[in-house]
Amino acid sequence: MTGHIYIIGMGPGYREMMTREAYEAIKSADVIVGYTVYIDLVKEYFFDKAFFTTPMRQEVKRCKACFDFLKEGKNVAFICSGDAGVYGMVAPMLELLPEYEKDGISSEDITVIPGVTAAISGAAVLGAPLNHDFCIISLSDLLTPWETIEKRLKAAIYGDFAIAIYNPSSKKRQDYLHRACEIMLDAGAKKTRACGYVENIGRDGTKSFVCTLDELKDIEVNMFTTVFIGNSQSEIIQGKLVTKRGYDIS
């Protein structure tokens, strides 16, 4: 077996926001595997490659395809939006490893290449919302019970963390961001807490907005939006969301 699997965080998808390591790993691959939307984002840079795609909800099928290509001796680039280890495919790939031990495949055959996740790229657009302790919480309840998500939202407010919220809305979850805001308000967050959100981070049509938590609960966002909740000391300064580190700037 001469192939290798590279699980790659490609950032938002544009060449300029991929690391050089990520770009070179994709360039050297025999086949690029990924969710259809992500493959469409990189095809123009790697048009001479073979591609294997599946739609959403077929993540395990993509993982198993990577192992099948590896057994054929191919170098595989398994691409994920943002960072592959943040709501990405690194964990299921490693979870599947025991099934392929009989084929002589081990963790030595897999390399994880980090990418710029939406929390970081979105924060750069808004200013400095994550400049102190922060957490990332997904509002998707496809794999996590809503009761658990609610506990995490409350804990983040109790701990006074800044928060990056992934998957704030979808066609089936249009009211989830509103519900999340109500939970945070009930947990003690002030209505005036500084917040912001970014649509289509690092892609065509990037838009960013700042607002209060009270305003945020009535705003409609889409699945390509990342939401940022400041901590109790965050401020909006000249249109930028700033979470202070504590420096004496007097």
What are the Cα distances from residue 228, in Å, to 18, 56, 77, 146?
Answer: 23, 25, 31, 19
- Give the pLDDT confidence score for residue 132 in this predicted structure: 98
Place of tokens 């919302």: 129
Q: Where are the domains of the chain?
A: 4-116, 119-242
- The domain made up of 119-242 is a member of CATH 3.30.950.10: yes
- Give the pLDDT confidence score for residue 1 in this predicted structure: 63
* Residue 189 dihedral angles phi and psi, to the nearest 5°: -70, 140
Instruction: Give the closest residue to 237 by CA, choosing from 135, 123, 126, 121.
Output: 126
Place of tokens 């680039």: 77
Superfamily of domain 4-116: Tetrapyrrole methylase, N-terminal domain (3.40.1010.10)
Instruction: For 161-179, give one letter per residue: b (16+ CB within 10 A) or e.
Output: bbbbbbbbbeeebeebbbb
- Give the pLDDT confidence score for residue 174 in this predicted structure: 85
- Give the pLDDT confidence score for residue 173 in this predicted structure: 82
CA diameter of the chain: 64
pLDDT tens, position by position, for the chain (250 residues)? 689 999 999 998 788 899 999 999 999 999 999 999 999 989 989 999 999 999 888 999 999 999 999 999 999 999 999 999 999 999 999 999 999 999 999 999 999 999 999 999 999 999 999 999 999 999 999 999 999 999 999 999 999 999 999 999 988 888 999 999 999 999 999 999 999 999 999 888 899 999 999 999 999 999 899 999 999 999 999 999 999 999 988 8
